[in-house]
Amino acid sequence: MKQKWSLIVLILLFALILTACGGSTEEPAAENAPAEEPAADTVPAEEPAAEVQDFVTWYQYDEKNEDPASDERVGNEYLRNTIPQFNEAFAGKWNWANQPKAFDRMTTELVAAVQAGGEVPDLFELSNTQDVIDFYRNGTAQDMMAWAQEQSWWSDLDPNAIDACTAPDGALLCIPISQRPQLVYVWNDRFPDGYPTTPEEFLARAEELKAEGLYAITFFGSTDKGGEGLTRGIWTTISSFGGALDDGQGNMLLNTPENIAAIEFLREIVANEYVPEIAFAGGFQEEEAFKDSSAGSFPTGLFGYRYVNPLTAPNGTAYAKGSAEDMIDAIEAGDVYLTHFIAAEGQMPGCGVDVAGFVIPVGATNVDAAHDYINWIMSPEQNANWVQGPGGGFPALKATQADPAFQTTFYKEAAEAIGASACSPWYGSLERPNEAQETVMTAVYKLIKEDPTADIAEVLTQTQEEYNAGN
């Protein structure tokens, strides 16, 4: 066996050394690559027609992924249906060529691509508003303020959504299409008399559920994914106690009575085991406790319905399509309802809000197509569709909010919940949100889970000082 292998290698070696003789190392590989071209048969077809230009987008969705069990199938399907529509609407002018990107890497890649002067898309699908700050710091995104203000839809946009897209220097770095607030998914049988509105009521009900061997709540409690949990249940809780993470001037300010009260509340529900252990497992596994209804409520993003399935209700009903429809079905059937979180005395229930929309990167080659695309998505025919597909939230355009698509039980309950809450982006005026997210989540985790006896004020002060030292 060994001899045979050696022989093969020797022959190949010989063949290659002939081409490599000139001392150049580049030729053999360059010759190899075209020879293997068939491996790349999935390269998007580049239309040869003379005046049709490619319009390149980066979405986290992949129109070629037809796996019905894919967790991104809503977005994948949306692109599959919409790309031909766009190409038809702009036939002879633009050809939409999408490049799917890994969801947790596309921001980094865009920043690196712009810095290196590399190939950037004409349009970038933004799903996380805090990316705007990254793009601002790294000079990644174009300021669209002047262009956007001239468009017919501008005056109809929700001002909060515009704020979220505005960089500290006033530049408009994204066009908001969809708002993704945080709210609470609740199993009706676990909270049949409505969701508690105060911490005290919550604790009382949680104790009753615990006596039945159940958990009152599950949330993203781990420090996984760069502290992503902070932007979800943790921020919902902090803001529901009237807390904030910054002083409005770009400095971190954690050591406030409101924040301490919020952390004391979290500490109590963790210490009393109202939260399942899996909430701290990372990798979005906290969802499991809600799926099998062992946990009664789940504060998360509105778009969470897509990923939290299949479901088993407390009464045994199974919603087992294994797709985004499961949660919608459960809500229609009344097994699950959406509501706002509790609130401390004198406070509004808090929630985080995120915006999904579009960014035109610096160095984009086909800005005209991107503008045409944005206007196309803002049209009544397309807007609701995008908000329901990739957007996974509420329309930022007020006109679209009246669309029948948003009159379902799901959206009505969600709208009510949001209406009763005071929602704001968690990072406030902080200019290094990624760093803040990780360090604050680490501090919160330490306080509520790892070391429940640690002095809250001390840990918070230390965290904020460390962050502010980098300002």
Partner 1 sequence: MRQLLSRSKGGGRTQSTLPFWLILPTIIVLLAIQVYPALYTVWLSLQEREPEGWTFIGLENFKRLFATSLFNESVGHTIVFLVGYAGLTLVLGFVIALLLSRNVRLSGLYITLLFIPWIIADLLVGLIFRLMVVPDYGLLSGILQNPAIIPPDGLSVLTAVPPKSWFGDFPFPPAAAMTFLILASTWRALPFVTLLLLAAMQTVPTEIIESSRIDGANGRQVIRHIMVPLMLPTMVVALFSLTLSGMNGVGMVFSLTGGGPGTSTYVLSYMLYSIGWDRLQFGRAAALALMIAIVNWLLISGTLRLTRVEERSV
Partner 2 sequence: MRHKPLMTRQRRENILINIALIAVVLLAMLPIATTVLVSFKMEQDVTRKPPVIFPCDTETQAFEWAACRWSVEGYDRVLKPEPASNWLGFELTGNMIRTYIPNTLLYATTTSLLVVILAGLSGYAFSRYRFRGHRPLMVSILAITGVPLLTNLLALYQMGVKLRKADIPFYDDRFFIIMVYMGFFLPLSVWIAKGFFDAIPRELEDAALIDGCSPLGALWRVIMPLAAPGLMAVFLLTFVGVWNEFIAGYLLISKNDHKTVMFGLYDFLGQNIINLQVLAAACILIALPVVVLFLFTRRTFFKAMVEGAIKG
- Whole-angstrom distance, CA of residue 269 vs CA of residue 90: 55
Q: Which of these, 387, 371, 431, lies nearest to 132 by C-alpha position?
A: 431
- Contact by Cβ (8 Å): 386, 178: yes
- Contact by Cβ (8 Å): 378, 151: yes
Residue 222 structure tokens: 């781990």
- Please pick, from the candidates 84, 92, 283, 470, the single residue that binds partner 2 as defined by CB under 8 A: 283
Q: Which of these, 228, 227, 240, lies nearest to 266 by C-alpha position?
A: 240
Largest interatomic CA distance in the chain: 82
46 binds partner 2 (CB under 8 A): no
109 binds partner 2 (CB under 8 A): yes
Instruction: Give me the least distance between CB of 420 and partner 2, in Å please.
Output: 28
Instruction: Give me the least distance between CB of 203 and partner 1, in Å please.
Output: 22
Chain residues binding partner 1 by CB under 8 A are 20, 23-25, 108, 111, 134, 136-139, 169, 222-226, 277-278, 280-283, 285, 288, 432, 434-435, 438-439, 442, 445-446, 449-451, 462, 466, 469-470
112 binds partner 2 (CB under 8 A): yes
Centroid of chain to Cα 70: 17
Residue 269 structure tokens: 């529900």
Nearer to partner 2 among residue 309 and residue 439 (C-beta): 309
Instruction: Give me the least distance between CB of 449 and partner 1, in Å please.
Output: 6
DSSP state of 414: H
Interacting partner of 6 out of partner 2, partner 1, none (Cβ under 5 to 8 A depending on kind): partner 2
13 binds partner 2 (CB under 8 A): yes
Question: 192-206 burial string, b = 16+ CB within 10 Å, else e?
Answer: eeebbeebeebbebb
Interacting partner of 2 out of partner 1, partner 2, none (Cβ under 5 to 8 A depending on kind): partner 2
Nearer to partner 1 among residue 52 and residue 281 (C-beta): 281
Interacting partner of 72 out of partner 2, partner 1, none (Cβ under 5 to 8 A depending on kind): partner 2
Interacting partner of 32 out of partner 1, partner 2, none (Cβ under 5 to 8 A depending on kind): partner 2
Sequence-ordered list of residues with C-beta below 8 angstroms from that of 113, at least 6 positions apart, any chain:
119, 120, 361
Interacting partner of 29 out of partner 2, partner 1, none (Cβ under 5 to 8 A depending on kind): partner 2
Residues in 306-325 at the binding interface with partner 2, rule: CB under 8 A: 307
Query: In one letter, which amino acid is 93?
Result: K
290 binds partner 2 (CB under 8 A): no
139 binds partner 2 (CB under 8 A): no
The per-residue DSSP string of 270-330 comes to HHTT-S-GGGGS-TTTHHHHHHTTSEEEEEEEGGGGGTS-SEE-TTS-EE-S-STHHHHHH
Nearer to partner 1 among residue 13 and residue 333 (C-beta): 13
Give the DSSP H/E element, type plus range, for residue 338.
strand 336-339
Phi-psi region of 158 (alpha: psi -120 to 50; beta: other; left: phi over 0): beta
Residues in 160-179 at the binding interface with partner 2, rule: CB under 8 A: none
Interacting partner of 470 out of partner 1, partner 2, none (Cβ under 5 to 8 A depending on kind): partner 1
Residues in 119-138 at the binding interface with partner 2, rule: CB under 8 A: 119
3-state secondary structure of 7: helix
Binding window for partner 2 (CB under 8 A); candidates: 65-73, 74-82, 379-387, 420-428: 65-73
Interface ranges with partner 2 (CB under 8 A): 1-2, 5-6, 9-10, 12-13, 16-17, 20, 25-26, 28-34, 36, 39-40, 42-43, 62, 67, 69-72, 99-100, 102-103, 105, 109, 112-113, 115-119, 283-285, 287-288, 292, 307
